[in-house]
Structure 1
Amino acid sequence: MLTPASPEDQGSSSSQVPSEATIKFVLVPDNERVRSHPLSVTQRRRRQEYQAYESRVYNLTLDINELRQQIQQLKERRDLYVTRMIYSGERFKGDVLKLVWNLLDGLLSGAIGLTPSGQGFFAPRIHLNQDSPEASGGVYEYVVQEGRCPLTNRSITITSIDILAMVNNTTQGDAAREIRRICGIDGGCVVEVLAGLSGQVTQDTLIALFPHVIGDEVLTSRMIGRQIKFSSRLLLYFSNQRRLMKQVAQADLVAALNTLHLDDAGGVGAYAD
């Protein structure tokens, strides 16, 4: 006969029945995951060392790329600076050559005839040197002052106009230092004008170029009125402010006068010593 179980028996029997389990899924990070075959200590050390090496390589790559960008920017700035320098130099050459043509037009017409603004570019500087150290073999240096040529009935033919040198404040060499001494510390340029001249010798010509000949009345009378031809070289020194700082004309007038055979005793060359 079955009798119902007592409350104590029922409690003990119910405690023996397993309760229902709750299953939870948790995401475990890769570095915390327990692997079935974990790495050895040596392998883990090598992996850490490689990660540090890879990080350094990555940072160095970034630094190299940044340096390349900076170098490219410096190259672009350098090219821009060189382009500006070339443009400024060409513009300076054009301005100087324009001034030279204005000066030559004044010389060819017999007077400078420049406007007041143009006259500011031509500072009155006189450099008359008949026997400079550079003069040899009868070569005399003279300057046509204020556009007045010492010859009458003259004819001037321009052969060439060239810029011999351009100098800035960093140009090296003795020639550059000499140009800076004349044109200023910022430098300048030298323009060479080659021309052929002809004209009649006057008393003013002899006084300006050969004052020691005036004492020989016979030779002077033979020279006055004679037509001579010679080549000349005009050097014009311009500053960076486009001002004419110095002008020097060179010509072998002694050789030109000696071709006239004015004196059997040696011509004008005898007075050139």
Structure 2
Amino acid sequence: MHVMIDSLKSLAIFREVVTRGSFRAAAQYLNLSPSVISQHISALEDNLNSKLLYRTTRKLKLTESGKSLFNHAEAMCQHANRGLAEIAQKTGELTGKRTITLPSAMLQSPWLTGLAKFAKAHERLTLSLEFSDEQLDLVENNIDLAFRTGQLKDSQLKCKKIGGIERKLVASPQLLQTLSTPQDIQQLSVFPWVYLNRLPARREFVHDNGTKNTINYSAAITVNSVIALKDLTLQGLGVSTPPSYLVETELASGALVEICKPWQIPDIPLYLVWPDSPENSLLVERLLPHIQEKSDLSQSMLSQ
């Protein structure tokens, strides 16, 4: 019996090695050393008297025996995960560690408050929140769930739209004293801008009467963080369009001024994105009530 149990463990590890693409990635995900991972793979190959993997410095390649065994290992793990998720669904309790990545703009957002409430409701769950404006590969980096903004591309990931991020067109009084407040939306094309370097140098605006207009502009400075975008706008380096919740205090105090008010910037769509698995789907199911009271279910095959 103990031999079979050891083999099942090695099969699960073999599956993670193939799924993650390397011994090191599997070791990080399973919290094991690469040498332990290697021992399990070698034990499987010795027991089967068959080579399962060709190892190179850059990637792994499955042998024919490895391909066949991986299919069985994948099926085994999927059945086990479904069983575990089914029990967890009945008890409503989440345990273990989950990694969630979020853009830096969410540091002061209402969604972060929802995440805090979720964490309090699941005390046996350990959350690792990673704030980054770099859209990391979820599978390769062992990330269970991501908050993503903007247009998403087709892929094998699950997606749920949870709302939109409202933005304000703002500038500092210091900048407006120098350049004067723009009276027409087209004047913004000659204004200095502070903007995120991963976005195109243009903004679409919608007037209260429904008229649309797109402004192309030159940046005074580009950044890779929304927090930096707000701070540099406060310093008078240019106009910008940060999330509304990020500049509420500054607008109330007069440190920033909203300009061209008849014109609005469309909200940025906000999504949850996750690799398809029973554990991740259960995580999303338990999280949603805390971050969104009303939501239209919309799952599709979308990318990071």
TM-score, normalised on structure 2? 0.19
Q: Looking at both structures, which has the greater relative contact order when contacts are Cα pairs under 8 Å and sequence separation is at least 6? A: 2
Larger radius of gyration: 1
TM-score, normalised on structure 1? 0.20
